[in-house]
Copies of this chain bind each other. A is one copy, B any other.
């Protein structure tokens, strides 16, 4: 079985890379851009190149599902890059392929706000996928950069599912039937996502959990079972949104970037502005075993559990990260 967490944004360090190994985590999709422009994102690729050079025994860069398999054989954690916003491509569609070549494999079309491509889930109005958005989805499909709609609004998400010729992902969110956060997703979105071959990654960010930090493992795993009934047990995985060791200044960067002079608290509030504490059954990369045990207890078979814990994402990588067949090699 491959253990894959399809979304983390930690304050990276040797300590965390060692925890990934201790937890047997075979691959992590890491965010390398929230509001960064192209050049700033390149600096983040550069930082990762330094991590890979410094810790070759712990981590390696993955561009394909087979790279994840090779990492597991080598006892390393495969790192897959993604953007939570299209800011790295600025207004230049040619940067889609450039970012893909540098290793990006997921890109959200919007992050909470309206972007050049789509609408974010905090906007009052959602006019759907923009003119540039349609062109960029086509280009992302061509090169093998997966459309991620985790922070997008419903209409934009449904249109992205419709427009994209390849399955898309919601890498980190939960169903709103369980906890009606703005970031969580309606049954309609989840059903359409699954019907198109897409994937949902379950978030462990406390604001996305029923009862937040106090959420129980049973509640979380029973929610996964109900989502499997809705989407199929092969269309779901994990996207923990683990933001380990980050200072509160980083949650502020996520929330307001450079777009506002006033603070916006996202799913938090003025008296609860920083990162909330994680539930005690999922503190870091060493706790995935608790979730696997919880899934078995919630009624999943061994095979279904292996799917949710990573095999479903691995199959999705195999299909999603290749260049489309009409594209030249």
Residues of chain A at the chain B interface (Cβ within 8 Å): 38-39, 42-43, 45-47, 49-50, 52-53, 56, 60, 92, 94-95, 97-98, 101-103, 327-329
Instruction: Specify which of B42, B45, B92 is in contact with A46 (CB 8 Å cutoff).
Output: B92
**Chain B residues closer than 8 Å to A60, beta-carbon distance:** 328-329
29 A-B pairs within 8 Å (CB atoms) are namely A38-B39, A38-B42, A39-B39, A42-B95, A42-B98, A43-B92, A43-B94, A45-B98, A46-B92, A46-B94, A46-B95, A46-B97, A46-B98, A47-B94, A49-B94, A49-B97, A49-B98, A50-B94, A52-B328, A53-B327, A53-B328, A56-B328, A60-B328, A60-B329, A98-B102, A101-B101, A101-B102, A101-B103, A102-B102
**Bound complex: CA A59 to CA B313 (Å):** 35
Of all chain B residues, the one with the shortest Cβ separation from A103 is: B101
**Bound complex: CA A45 to CA B102 (Å):** 12
**Chain B residues closer than 8 Å to A52, beta-carbon distance:** 328
Binding site secondary structure of chain A: helix
> Which of A42, A47, A328 has the most chain B CB atoms inside 10 A of its CB?
A328
Count copies of this chain in the complex. 2
Of all chain B residues, the one with the shortest Cβ separation from A47 is: B94
Least distance between A104 CB and chain B CB atoms (Å): 12
**Bound complex: CA A38 to CA B43 (Å):** 12
**Chain B residues closer than 8 Å to A329, beta-carbon distance:** 60
**Bound complex: CA A92 to CA B47 (Å):** 12
Of all chain B residues, the one with the shortest Cβ separation from A43 is: B94
**Bound complex: CA A46 to CA B45 (Å):** 18
Least distance between A190 CB and chain B CB atoms (Å): 35
**Chain B residues closer than 8 Å to A42, beta-carbon distance:** 38, 95, 98
**Bound complex: CA A231 to CA B329 (Å):** 38
**Chain B residues closer than 8 Å to A92, beta-carbon distance:** 43, 46
Least distance between A65 CB and chain B CB atoms (Å): 16
**Chain B residues closer than 8 Å to A50, beta-carbon distance:** 94
Least distance between A84 CB and chain B CB atoms (Å): 21
A46-B94, A49-B94, A49-B98 provided; 7 other pairs, C-beta below 8 A? A38-B39, A42-B95, A46-B98, A49-B97, A53-B328, A101-B101, A102-B102
Of all chain B residues, the one with the shortest Cβ separation from A97 is: B49
**Chain B residues closer than 8 Å to A101, beta-carbon distance:** 101-103
> Which of A43, A45, A98 has the most chain B CB atoms inside 10 A of its CB?
A98
Least distance between A292 CB and chain B CB atoms (Å): 29
**Chain B residues closer than 8 Å to A97, beta-carbon distance:** 46, 49
**Bound complex: CA A156 to CA B278 (Å):** 57
Which 5 pairs show the lowest CB-CB distances between chains A and B?
A: A46-B94, A56-B328, A49-B97, A52-B328, A101-B102
Of all chain B residues, the one with the shortest Cβ separation from A100 is: B49
**Chain B residues closer than 8 Å to A102, beta-carbon distance:** 98, 101-102
**Bound complex: CA A237 to CA B252 (Å):** 57
> Which of A38, A102, A329 has the most chain B CB atoms inside 10 A of its CB?
A329
